Amino acid sequence: MAKFICTTCGSIGTPKTHTKGSILIEIILWLCFLIPGIIYTIWRMTSRVRVCRTCNSTNIVPLNSPAGKRMQLQQESTNSDFSSKSVKAPPQSTAKMYRVAKDGNDLGEIPEQTINSMIQQGILTPQDYFYDYASEDWVPLERIIK
């Protein structure tokens, strides 16, 4: 099976399949009512999605796609930068963090520097959103891009 990379947590591997609904409800519907059982089974089978094995996110891309290759290179360069003794990560308290969302999915808290890097690489766009705690609303990233 092809390998995928998760855009949420960055893990690389084969995804697992997640089926919505409950097998218990499906069995009960089959035992009690034939037609609802058939409908429920069809809905469960058509709503299957591939998810990340690590974080269960549906935001996964094939590793051999342009976006997957770009993310893998970014991940490798980040790992090699921090493994070098000459390069030190800034303390967490000095890095400004933003809660970011892409395509309606909350990506969590991301440092401002990483957001700018992800925009330059095309992973995020200025039209994606961050949560502005002052206004308690989601706002386009273009307001914080430097």
Neighbour tally for 1: CB within 10 Å: 7
The tokens describing 99, both together, are 């809660």
Contacts of 110 (CB under 8 A, 6+ apart): 97, 98, 99, 100, 118
State the pLDDT at residue 38: 92
Q: What is the mean pLDDT of each run of 10 residues along the chain (146 residues)?
A: 82 89 92 89 92 87 84 71 42 68 80 82 84 79 76
Which residue in the block uniquely carries the two structure tokens 């084969």? 14
Nearest CA to 134 out of 80, 81, 107, 98 is that of 98
The verdict on pTM exceeding 0.85 is no
Q: Which residues on neighbouring strands pair with residue 129, listed in sequence order?
A: 101, 140
